[in-house]
């Protein structure tokens, strides 16, 4: 070639998938080759297309993901050292998930500690208003024979649980109960979006003669019945509910509609919870619980300086539970598909 020198691209050509303008393209590294990916299934994964890490998206931060996963297996109050160990163990076992030591682990430990405190202070009130409402209505309308069957099972489970420390066991009972609850909710078209596994866990532990009620729902119940009484309609209304007991859905929608008409500004969950007690008429003031489920945390390393983090137990549990059960599996599946698409393309 004489004295001529040519620039040669030494980079090894490799086929990858890249995201450009919300569309996936096959791309040969080191070249200007881009070919659009034509797979219809990809649309199912739009939610996770732009997601860089399994641990974070526009709704969930990495320290929250880490905190939730540790909390799920450590709900009892633990020492700082125990929580630190649990966080570090998760970090070590999930290398490559974008979790940064010294930042996300410190924040996650802080969140785990607060979650444990709130979780244990709430007791049975840690179950959502909807889960508790479904459990109460299911039990109220359950035939005596099935009630007796479950009561005996609960008693046996309680004896074993008190005698041994293992928390496992009796999953079959929770499963059977949750399936029957699900069938009840579907058949009567009430509270169908409820997590029936949680509702079953709640019912198993609750005193069936003394269902707990939140302070807000208790106040709504008192104001509603007081208003009816002042108008001389309380007995008539309750008789009307009782007359409809053979139609659980009618009972529920009459109670819910009456509460909405009485207080259009009331929170939906509070109305659902109160409706249960309007139907069963088993509210005892001693079962009203004032619950605290929010805390403000300062100086988290993952957030900008002076940014406060508001932890709402119920909002956090709902959001992170959805992320872990819906978003994470979808993200993993997309990674598998991307690998198989590239592999398939290389063969052609």
φ, ψ of residue 18 to 5 degrees: the values are -125, 155
Can you tell me the distance from the alpha carbon of 329 to that of 48, in angstroms, rounded to the nearest whole number? 10
3-state secondary structure (DSSP) of residue 18 = strand
Looking at residue 185, what is its pLDDT? 97
Taking residue 36's Cβ as centre, other Cβ atoms within 10 Å add up to 10
Looking at residue 50, what is its pLDDT? 80
- pLDDT tens figures, 72-87: 999 999 999 999 999 9
3-state secondary structure (DSSP) of residue 36 = strand
Q: Is the pLDDT of residue 3 over 80?
A: no
Looking at residue 17, what is its pLDDT? 79
- Which of 52-56, 163-167, 192-196, 262-266 has the weakest average pLDDT? 163-167
87 and 280 in contact (C-beta within 8 Å)? no
Q: CA nearest 90: which of 112, 57, 114?
A: 112
Looking at residue 239, what is its pLDDT? 93
Can you tell me the distance from the alpha carbon of 131 to that of 283, in angstroms, rounded to the nearest whole number? 17
Looking at residue 291, what is its pLDDT? 85
Q: Is the pLDDT of residue 167 over 70?
A: no
**This prediction's pTM:** 0.80
- Greatest CA span in the chain, whole angstroms? 110
Q: Is the pLDDT of residue 62 over 80?
A: yes
- pLDDT tens figures, 254-276: 999 999 999 999 999 999 999 99
Looking at residue 8, what is its pLDDT? 45
């Amino acid at each position: 070639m004489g004295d001529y020198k040519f620039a040669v691209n030494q980079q090894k050509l490799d086929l990858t998938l890249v995201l450009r303008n919300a569309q996936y393209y096959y791309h040969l590294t080191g070249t200007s080759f881009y070919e659009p990916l034509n797979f219809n299934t990809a649309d199912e994964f739009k939610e996770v297309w732009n997601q860089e890490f399994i641990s974070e998206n526009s709704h969930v931060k990495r320290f929250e993901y880490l905190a939730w996963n540790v909390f799920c297996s450590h709900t009892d109050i633990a020492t700082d050292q125990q929580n630190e160990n649990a966080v570090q163990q998760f970090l070590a076992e999930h290398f490559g998930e974008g979790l940064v030591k010294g930042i996300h682990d410190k924040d996650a430990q802080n969140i785990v500690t607060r979650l444990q405190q709130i979780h244990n202070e709430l007791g049975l009130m840690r179950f959502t208003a909807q889960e508790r409402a479904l459990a109460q209505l299911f039990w109220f309308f359950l035939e005596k024979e099935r009630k007796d069957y479950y009561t005996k099972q609960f008693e046996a489970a309680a004896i074993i649980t008190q005698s041994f420390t293992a928390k496992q066991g009796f999953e079959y009972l929770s499963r059977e109960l949750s399936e029957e609850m699900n069938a009840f909710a579907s058949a009567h078209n009430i509270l169908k979006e409820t997590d029936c596994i949680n509702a079953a866990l709640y019912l198993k532990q609750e005193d069936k003669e003394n269902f707990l009620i939140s302070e807000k729902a208790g106040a709504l119940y008192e104001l509603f019945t007081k208003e009816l009484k002042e108008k001389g309609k309380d007995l008539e209304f309750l008789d009307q509910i009782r007359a409809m007991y053979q139609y659980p859905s009618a009972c529920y929608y009459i109670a819910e509609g009456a509460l909405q008409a009485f207080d259009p500004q009331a929170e939906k969950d509070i109305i659902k919870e109160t409706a249960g007690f309007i139907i069963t008429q088993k509210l005892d003031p001693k079962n009203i619980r004032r619950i605290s489920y929010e805390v403000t945390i300062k100086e988290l390393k993952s957030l900008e300086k002076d940014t406060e983090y508001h932890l709402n137990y119920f909002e956090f549990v709902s959001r992170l539970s959805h992320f872990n059960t819906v978003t994470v599996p979808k993200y993993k599946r997309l990674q598998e598909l991307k690998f198989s698409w590239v592999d398939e393309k290389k063969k052609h």
